[in-house]
Amino acid sequence: MSKSVISIPVKWEQLLKRLADDHQVDLNSVISELCAWAFSNPETKKQFEAWLDDAFPPKGEAEDRERSVNEEISESEEDKQDKSEEEDHEDRDYSEDRELKP
């Protein structure tokens, strides 16, 4: 087993430390056993990997996703601008028609 330094949110650290103290084991053992339990089932391991890919996509995918989102925003802005221009033309045409009628 390798030694790693991790940081966990304070509320979870407090809970895990309390549990470790209650069972008279060190925090590292609790976290190690928690990970072993969580990933002992192949299905939960797949679910975790899917969640991780979604929450923190690999670098290439993250860049592609960001580019895609930016393209969607640009297209949406263009659509809004086009619609606004069409409405302006319609309003202008309507105004011109009203001025021409006797």
Q: For the chain, 102 residues long, give each residue's pLDDT as a single digit of tens.
A: 567 788 899 999 999 999 999 999 999 999 999 999 988 999 999 999 999 888 888 777 656 667 777 777 777 877 787 777 777 666 666 565 555 555
Residues 86, 51 within the same domain: no
Residues 78, 47 within the same domain: no
Residues 48, 16 within the same domain: yes
Q: Is 101 left (phi over 0), alpha (psi -120 to 50) or beta?
A: beta
Residues 66, 28 within the same domain: no
pTM of the model: 0.48
Domain count, the chain: 2
Contact 44, 50 (CB under 8 A): no
Residue 22: inside a domain, yes or no?
A: yes
Residue 2: inside a domain, yes or no?
A: no
Residues 12, 36 within the same domain: yes
Boundaries of domain holding 83: 57-102
Contacts (Cβ under 8 Å, ≥6 apart) of 38: 44, 48
